[in-house]
Amino acid sequence: MNIIGVSMDTVEAQDAFAAKYQLPFPLLADVDGKICDAFSVEHPKGRPARETFLFKNGRLVDHDRTVKPKRQATDILEKIAADVGSQ
């Protein structure tokens, strides 16, 4: 399983954020919004909506446009576990 975070913050801001929270996954700096645009994530004034995309074997299998930050990790892990259990 691979996790990648994307935001429109600068590389320097992301490095500081990742260090502060000891993130075990990379963050991509989408400062020009091209990744947001490719995934149709709205980003008014450079502040993209928080969304989660779950891919399996290169296919999008889940997209949550209404992420609740405090539950985001739990929600996605539950979706992954449900998918693994259904195989």
pLDDT, tens only, 40-54: 999 988 889 899 999
pLDDT at 80: 85
Domain boundaries, given as residue ranges, for the chain: 1-49, 50-87
What's the pTM value of the predicted model, to 2 decimals?
Answer: 0.78
Contact 48, 38 (CB under 8 A): no
Using alpha carbons, select from 18, 2, 3, 13 the residue that is nearest to residue 46: 13
Q: Tokens representing 29?
A: 């700096």
